[in-house]
Amino acid sequence: MPTIRSELCPLFVDGEWGPSSASTSEPVYNPSDGTVIARTPLCGADDIERAVKAAEAAFPGWAETPPVDRARVMFRYVHLLETHFDDLARLVTREHGKTLAEAKGSVRRGIEVVEFACGIPSLLMGESLEQIAPGIDCDAIRQPLGVCAGITPFNFPAMVPMWMFPLAIACGNTFVLKPSEKVPLTAIRLVELLHEARLPPGVMNLVHGGREAVDALLTHPSVKAVSFVGSTPVARHVYQTATTHGKRVQAAGGAKNYMIIMSDANPAATVDALIGSAFGCAGERCMAGSVAVAVQDAGDRVLPLLRDTVAQLRVGPTDRDPAAQMGPLVTQQHLERVKGYIDAGLSEGAELFLDGRDVRVPAAPNGFYLGPTILDRASTQMTIIRDEIFGPVLSVIRTDDLDAAIEACNGSGYGNAAVLFTTSGRAAREFRHRVSAGMVGINVGVPAPMAFFPFSGWNGSFFGDLHIQGREGVWFYTRQKVTMSRWG
């Protein structure tokens, strides 16, 4: 059973669950019905100090643990995650609101990172070259960094934390996780299961809170590396503050992902992909396609079918209605913010093609619901195109050719995903070559890389050098030592 022993979420420090010394807390909601299901303590510097000290003390022993034994913890963890897979997904749905199918998909993606971490002995292998000069050999090995910190957003309560700590720990580091204050419950369960996998005390620690907790981690002299995922302004702040304090940083930010539709695209397949990308997880996804650029007559070929299909989506309480196809937004405040963007789009001249604001969910009238919304004939100067909305709102721009579409996309300032729908190989090649984004989809609506590839945002979507996941993830959590040997 999950460790929710009181309403206030516990911390996990040095292998023990216990209370925070914070005097303030924030509510955690079940967004499906608006009820408060827990409270997140807003940890201050003293809680962070305890967690970092525990991680620091555990580091030498864990770093000396053979990689194969560290891998065995990960194998046991995979087994426990599989055993509790459905419960974890239900917890994600309960505190975030995405559908159970979406929650399961995200937990699966997280488990894949743990599976990747099971291969750590091979992933950590170095390089060597004999006889670089007469009688001299050279080799490069990888060693862990020390205490690493992870700071995560609300939209993937299981997957994003799992992008970080399994690989960091498998590499021989110790870890302090600070999940989003909006969704702390899944993180508690993930840490509990990791402990059950017989990870030594102090290797994994969990704290809670917001800015104060984050800033204490970013400036703590014993924290060697920071992994961050969240919005662009906070990612920039994290990168600047932590690098100023001498830390290695990977900070993934927000996004504005363009989906360009050529007039030769297959309409039915394109509509399918657009729905998943723009409205999946109620648009609360850093890979969500939030701008569709319709080239020539593509808009008229695709948009009516898109609207007719999307209008049928069942919006409802994902925690109790298995037929719900789209869930609520995470909080009332976020719902109001997204509605504010729809108002801004209309006042700046976009056309309302599908209005989700009047959605009614009689089974859960206090949930934070917004139906799928489409704003047509937007332009690149509008707020709805410049800002990340992070809700089920698709804005449509119309252009005459692929050049203009790529130019609009590259002007966004972000660079997470960019997608092209076409049956032309020439257009696909042109797009991949010229588009300024790190994750490209060709007839794929959500080109999210799997665990063995880097999650490869560019521009304002990423600050740092080494991305999360894949070999870059291993490189991020280790440093190289090069040795030259002469034995006479």
Give catalytic residue positions. 286
Where is 295: in which H helix or E strand?
A: strand 289-295
Which window, 44-52, 85-93, 154-162, 314-322, contacts ligand NAD (CB under 6 A)? Answer: 154-162
Which window, 5-13, 131-139, 155-163, 296-304, contacts ligand NAD (CB under 6 A)? Answer: 155-163
CB of 470 to ligand NAD, least distance (A): 13
CB of 455 to ligand NAD, least distance (A): 6
Which window, 22-30, 102-110, 151-159, 293-301, contacts ligand NAD (CB under 6 A)? Answer: 151-159
CB of 45 to ligand NAD, least distance (A): 14
- CA dihedral over 68, 71, 76, 79, signed as positive or negative: negative
The closest alpha carbon to 263, from 300, 225, 315, belongs to 300
Classified as helix, coil or strand, 481 is strand
Compare residues 231 and 240 and give the one whose CB is closer to ligand NAD.
231
Work out whether 364 is an interface residue with ligand NAD (CB under 6 A): no
Residues 449-465 as b/e (b if ≥16 CB within 10 A, e otherwise) read bebebbbbbbbbbbbbe
| Residue at shortest CB range from ligand NAD | 230
DSSP state of 478: E
DSSP state of 461: G
CB of 227 to ligand NAD, least distance (A): 11
Site string for ligand NAD, 242-281 (x = CB under 6 A): ----------xxxx--------------------------
Compare residues 214 and 262 and give the one whose CB is closer to ligand NAD.
214
Which window, 47-55, 92-100, 147-155, 422-430, contacts ligand NAD (CB under 6 A)? Answer: 147-155
Work out whether 102 is an interface residue with ligand NAD (CB under 6 A): no
**Cα angle 121, 65, 250; round to 5:** 65
Work out whether 152 is an interface residue with ligand NAD (CB under 6 A): yes
Q: Cα–Cα distances in Å, from 310 out to 139, 313, 414?
A: 57, 5, 27
Which listed residue (151, 226, 260, 418) binds ligand NAD by CB under 6 A? Answer: 151
Radius of gyration of the chain (CA): 23
Compare residues 80 and 251 and give the one whose CB is closer to ligand NAD.
251
Q: For residue 311, how many C-alpha atoms fall within 13 Å in the half-sphere facing its CB?
A: 11
Give the other-Cβ count within 10 Å of 487's Cβ: 6
Compare residues 172 and 179 and give the one whose CB is closer to ligand NAD.
179
Task: Tell me the pairing of strands 289-295 and 351-354.
Answer: unpaired
Work out whether 416 is an interface residue with ligand NAD (CB under 6 A): yes
Which listed residue (165, 239, 341, 390) binds ligand NAD by CB under 6 A? Answer: 390
Classified as helix, coil or strand, 174 is strand
Classified as helix, coil or strand, 257 is strand
Give the other-Cβ count within 10 Å of 322's Cβ: 9
Q: Which of residues 274-313 bind ligand NAD (CB under 6 A)?
A: 286
CB of 21 to ligand NAD, least distance (A): 18
CB of 101 to ligand NAD, least distance (A): 19
Q: Which of residues 22-61 bind ligand NAD (CB under 6 A)?
A: none
* Maximal C-alpha separation, the chain: 83
Work out whether 447 is an interface residue with ligand NAD (CB under 6 A): no
Compare residues 144 and 457 and give the one whose CB is closer to ligand NAD.
457
The closest alpha carbon to 165, from 201, 196, 197, 206, belongs to 206
The strand ranges marked E within 306-448 are: 351-354, 373-376, 393-399, 417-421, 439-442
Contact 409, 258 (CB under 8 A): yes
# residues contacting ligand NAD (CB under 6 A)? 29
Q: Which of residues 209-238 bind ligand NAD (CB under 6 A)?
A: 210-211, 214, 229-231, 234, 237
CB of 23 to ligand NAD, least distance (A): 18
Query: What is the DSSP code string of 85-143?
Result: HHHHHHHHHHHH---HHHHHHHHHHHHHHHHHHTTHHHHT--EEEEEEETTEEEEEEEE
CB of 238 to ligand NAD, least distance (A): 7
378: which 2 tokens? 């937007």
CB of 285 to ligand NAD, least distance (A): 7
Binding site for ligand NAD (CB under 6 A): 151-156, 160, 178, 180-181, 210-211, 214, 229-231, 234, 237, 252-255, 286, 388, 390, 416, 455, 457, 461
